Structure 1
Amino acid sequence: MATLKDRSKAKLCVLPDVTIHYPTNVQIGYNVFVNRGVQIDAPSSICIGDGTLIGPHVVINSGNHRFDAPDLWIRNQGHDLRPIIIGSDVWIGANVTILAGAIVGDGCVIGAGAVVSGKIPANSVATGIPARAVRRRGRRPTAENTEESNTAHMDHD
C-alpha cells in the first residue's frame, strides 16, 4: 500500500480502476483525490502533496527506457529512474502524463492531455506537449495579457 504522510490526517479518495506499481515508493499527502483509471508506476520515488486532485486516466511514471544504443534492442538497455515530486494543492487534469524527473510546484494546474517532463514553477497553469507554464494562478487572463488578444490587433493579409 502507498504510504500516507500523516495517518492522523489521512483523507484519501481513490476511485475504481486505479493501479499503483511499486506502492512502497509512493508517498501521498492528506486529502488527496485520485480519479478513475489512474496509473502510477513508481520504480523510483513519487511524492504527491496534500490536497492534490488527480484527474481521470492520468499516468505518473518515474522510469523511462534507455534507447541510445541503436545496435541493442531498447528492451535490453535498461531504465533511467528519477523521482517525481508533485506539490500540494495541485490539480492534474484528465489524461495528463507525468514523466520521470518531473517536479510540479505547489498550487499548479496541469491542463488536460499535457505531458510533464521537467519543472513547473509553483502556482503555474501549464499545458501542452511538453507542458509549459502559460500563466500564473491568481492572474486572470485579460485582453492585455493573452497571446490571442495580442495577435487579434495584428494586420492579417
Structure 2
Amino acid sequence: MLEWAGIPPDESPRRGGPLGPYMQSQRLDLYSKTAQQLVESRHAYYCFCSPQRLELLKKEALRVGQTPRYDNRCRHLQAEQVQEKLAQGQPHVIRFRLEEGVEPFQDLIFGWNRHEVAQVEGDPVVMKADGFPTYHLANIVDDHYMKISHCTAGV
C-alpha cells in the first residue's frame, strides 16, 4: 500500500531488511518465546477454562444485565496444578495478568487519560490454544522487534 502511494517503505517482504520476517506466521517462535517470558515473570498465566465454561460465564452475565468478562479463575491456580494440567496435555491459552487499579497514561494526541481495564475486561488472551498469538501480543511484539515508535490510525 505504501509503494502504491509513492512512499517507499524502509523494509518489506519484497525489499527485505534486518528486522524481518514480516509475516506473523513466520514469527510464531518469537511470539511463543515472548508469551513464555510473560508466564515466567508472572505477567501472564495459563488458562485451562473450556469454551463451554466461558460460554456459560457469558450467558450468565448477559442474563443479569452485565457486560460479559472473564472471571480470572485460572489466575489463582497453584504451580503444581498448572504443571499437572500441562503434563496431561489439557488445552490452554495464555492470558495477560492485568493489574488492579487505574494507571494514567498520556496519549500523544488526546493527552492524559485513565481507564480501569482490569475491572471492565478481565485478563485478555495473548496466546490462543492453537499456538497463534492474538492481536494484543503480536502487535506489541512486532512493534518492539521492528523498532516501531509511533502509530497513527484514522479516527
Task: Report the TM-score, using the length of structure 2 for normalisation.
Answer: 0.23
Structure number with greater Rg is 2
Task: Report the TM-score, using the length of structure 1 for normalisation.
Answer: 0.23
User: Which structure has greater strand proportion?
Assistant: 1
User: Which structure has greater helix proportion?
Assistant: 2
Structure with the greater relative contact order (CA < 8 A, sep ≥ 6): 1 or 2?
Answer: 2
